Structure 1
Amino acid sequence: MSTPDDPAGDGGVVAALEEHLLGETPWLTQEEVAERAGVPLATANELWHLLGFAHVPDDEAAFTTADVRALQLTNDLIRLGILSQERQDGLVRTWGRSFARLADWQVALLASVAGELGADPTEGLLAISDEALPRVEELQSYVWRRHLLSASARLLAEQTSGPTASLAVCFVDIVGYTSRSRTLSDRELVSWLESFESTVLGLTVDRGGRIIKNIGDELLIVADSPEAMADLALELTRRGADPEDPFPAVRAGIAYGEVVTRLGDVFGPVVNIAARLTSVARPSSVLVDLGAYEALTGREDDESDEHTGTYRFRRLRRVSVKGYSRLKVWALQESPLQR
């Protein structure tokens, strides 16, 4: 309940966190921030919304000098031509989504640690953040720079192909997620999903692939090599089918071909086809499209089944899914010679 001395009704915790995390108590309105930064108010408001922050009343002192500096830096990037209007919307929106999700996870982690230490949730969160946040921030910057290096290397390698690249695209979907999630508490569900993503991440990185994003109980993965993607999908379905392995049962769909890459995401028919194949795959199975079949066998479309030294392909009846009628599909299995 709010009071004159505690308008937020939280015991002053949010105010303390504001000063702690932002460096000072908010004292500027959005108009004052824009004026000090030399940025039009409309532009400042647009950037604020793109970052995913809530609307602030015109007369509310909700900002600090850190917000002024952020606007100045953004304006510098616009002036240097780094952030055009088109890039500005996409990049800033991506920043907002990514950091919002990261912040939610980090705050939940710190609050959990405070609870385990038996500290008061509010005071404990402040104390732990004072010790942990500088280290988290430094580590975060290190990880970002490492990924920036990897992304730069990929960009240089694909420079001749423009914004498109030939990639193997795979969706991996947990079988029976809805029914399983109903039996778990919120904490157990989060732990289960994090364990799933952690396992997939390790196997993906080992094969030179990368996870683009998670969509609920589904992961979108890409790899330069169709063989690496096939090996990954077969390993995931094998582990999911093993009753002794805690890894959940999954199904997967793989497509190969030209995709559009933008801001760390991938788009195009190849991505759509991989998603559609996953939706019709049976539990513990891997389906591949014509592009993946040809890349893995070195042969053009063939109506018969196919065996290679590494894989076995079983031709299925053509599949009709949303947006695509009569897709050519094969079930991918590990060759008996590889077992």
Structure 2
Amino acid sequence: MTDDDDTDELPTREISAELSRGLEDLLLGQAPTLTRSDVIEQSGVDDAVAVALWHLLGFPNVADDAVAFTPMDVEALRQSDELIRLGVVSAESQAALVRTLARSFARLAEWQTRLLAEIRVRNDATDAEHLALVAAALPNIEAFQNYVWRRHLASAAASLMTSEASAAEGDRTAIGFVDIVGYTSQSKKLDQRELIDWIESFEAAVTGVVVDHGGQVIKTIGDEALFVTAEARDAAEIALLLTARGQDPDDDFPAVRAGIAYGNVVPRLGDVFGPTVNIASRLTSVARPGTVVADRGVHDLLCRDHAPEGVRADDLTLRRIPHVSVKGYGKFDCWVVRRAKS
């Protein structure tokens, strides 16, 4: 084996046909006994609707005579149809809801499966031992996921109740992007396990700081994290804390840069859209390593009770960068946000 081949890859081990069938039966509740036609007939849902939902879930076509389904699939179709009947989900929004659920759970399922596979290899478990572990863990995983979902649902409902007054114009929100500096070059130096650990450490650190300041991480995309806060000051504080950590030689957190903007945002299915999001993203590319760049919306809120030119806002200083060219938005002014020297 050459040095190039000697990498610390994630452990792998061939899955036997027996283990694969056992896992499928365990996770689906029983072995498949129904064809697509059986599911459609028993659920009472239109054929075209059933096929469309299956595609939206991210699964490929199944032959009409293939025995690939269980009563769980029948019940899922009935429940989906019932949500429309109750008026909870419109026929128009059903596709977006199913697609979003599918993307979220596909990512979660991939991570959970990989974790269990690592445990199987590490313990050198037999097929029977691995099935027993999954069977023991599954109810706890399912219950915990339900708890997390309900907690987030309660939090989102409470947040919505406090912001209904502004819903007609769209939510005015602070948007922040944090981007790892030199991600491509650094990732080439790491093996697969080290890269995953590095990214997970980055995500955990960002999430901790954001949540501690009343914000929410909307998503992470490899080397970048998108977060929202109700107040511009909170977004600035989060960005400054993270960039400071990245500049600390004694901190393992990577060097980062950040862009923050404030304005109308369109929330949809757990994501956010609109010009404010786009501007914050563009400002991240303008920022130098270890710096935070803000748009006029953030500047005006931070400085409204202070110097007209925005030279100082409490313990912050804002230095104007005139006529920055931002792709898709032409040239406009933005500001580098820093801690004020005592």
- Report if TM-score (shorter chain) is over 0.5: yes
Please state how far the C-alpha of 1:113 moved relative to its aligned partner. 1.8
Please state how far the C-alpha of 1:289 moved relative to its aligned partner. 0.3
Alpha-carbon distance between aligned partners in 2 of 1:284 and 1:162, rounded to the nearest angstrom? 35
Which amino acid in structure 2 is aligned with residue 16 of structure 1?
Answer: G
1:155 and 2:153 are equivalent in the alignment: no
Which residue of structure 1 lines up, in the alignment, with residue 184 of structure 2? 178
1:92-171 → structure 2 map (5 Å cutoff): 92-120=98-126, 122-162=127-167, 164-171=170-177
CA 1:149–1:11: 2 relative to 1, 3 Å: same
CA 1:322–1:133: 2 relative to 1, 3 Å: same
Say if 1:26 and 1:64, in contact at 8 Å, map to a contact too.
Answer: yes
Give deviations 1:254-307, integer Å, cap 9, x for gaps. Answer: 0001111111111111000000000121111100000010011116996x5611
Match of 1:59 among 58, 65, 68: 65
Which amino acid in structure 1 is aligned with residue 153 of structure 2?
Answer: L
1:210 and 2:216 are equivalent in the alignment: yes
Please state how far the C-alpha of 1:155 moved relative to its aligned partner. 1.0
**Which secondary structure does the structure 1 equivalent of 2:322 belong to?**
coil
Match of 1:307 among 288, 312, 326: 312
Alpha-carbon distance between aligned partners in 1 of 2:130 and 2:206, rounded to the nearest angstrom? 31
CA 1:49–1:200: 2 relative to 1, 3 Å: same
1:319 and 2:339 are equivalent in the alignment: no
Give deviations 1:32-60, integer Å, cap 9, x for gaps. Answer: 10110000111011111111122212221
Which residue of structure 1 lines up, in the alignment, with residue 6 of structure 2? none
Alpha-carbon distance between aligned partners in 2 of 1:41 and 1:32, rounded to the nearest angstrom? 11
1:69 and 2:69 are equivalent in the alignment: no
TM-score by length of 2: 0.92
Alpha-carbon distance between aligned partners in 2 of 1:280 and 1:260, rounded to the nearest angstrom? 24
Give deviations 1:162-212, integer Å, cap 9, x for gaps. Answer: 262111100110111111111111111111111110011111110000000
Please state how far the C-alpha of 1:308 moved relative to its aligned partner. 2.2
Please state how far the C-alpha of 1:125 moved relative to its aligned partner. 3.4
- May I ask how many residue pairs the two structures share in their alignment? 328
Please state how far the C-alpha of 1:123 moved relative to its aligned partner. 4.1
Which amino acid in structure 2 is aligned with residue 25 of structure 1?
Answer: A
Which residue of structure 2 lines up, in the alignment, with residue 291 of structure 1? 297
For CA contacts below 8 A with separation 6 or more, give which structure has more relative contact order: 2
Say if 2:306 and 2:312, in contact at 8 Å, map to a contact too.
Answer: no
Give deviations 1:224-268, integer Å, cap 9, x for gaps. Answer: 011111111000000001111100000000000111111111111
1:142-291 → structure 2 map (5 Å cutoff): 142-162=147-167, 164-291=170-297
**Which secondary structure does the structure 2 equivalent of 1:283 belong to?**
coil
Match of 2:28 among 22, 29, 32: 22
Say if 2:243 and 2:256, in contact at 8 Å, map to a contact too.
Answer: yes
Match of 1:34 among 25, 35, 40: 40
Please state how far the C-alpha of 1:119 moved relative to its aligned partner. 1.4
Percent identity, please: 50
Structure 1 vs Structure 2 CA RMSD: 1.8
Alpha-carbon distance between aligned partners in 2 of 1:214 and 1:131, rounded to the nearest angstrom? 31
Unaligned segments of structure 2, at least 5 residues = 1-14
Say if 2:23 and 2:131, in contact at 8 Å, map to a contact too.
Answer: yes
Please state how far the C-alpha of 1:94 moved relative to its aligned partner. 0.5
Alpha-carbon distance between aligned partners in 2 of 1:91 and 1:212, rounded to the nearest angstrom? 17
Say if 2:311 and 2:317, in contact at 8 Å, map to a contact too.
Answer: yes
**Which secondary structure does the structure 2 equivalent of 1:12 belong to?**
helix
Alpha-carbon distance between aligned partners in 2 of 1:211 and 1:247, rounded to the nearest angstrom? 17
Give deviations 1:111-151, integer Å, cap 9, x for gaps. Answer: 1122222314x444322211111111111111110000000
Alpha-carbon distance between aligned partners in 2 of 1:318 and 1:128, rounded to the nearest angstrom? 60
Say if 2:199 and 2:222, in contact at 8 Å, map to a contact too.
Answer: no
Moved more, 317-326 or 137-146: 317-326
**Which secondary structure does the structure 2 equivalent of 1:336 belong to?**
coil
Which residue of structure 2 lines up, in the alignment, with residue 90 of structure 1? 96
Alpha-carbon distance between aligned partners in 2 of 1:35 and 1:186, rounded to the nearest angstrom? 46
Which amino acid in structure 2 is aligned with residue 126 of structure 1?
Answer: L
Which residue of structure 2 lines up, in the alignment, with residue 4 of structure 1? none
**Which secondary structure does the structure 2 equivalent of 1:295 belong to?**
helix
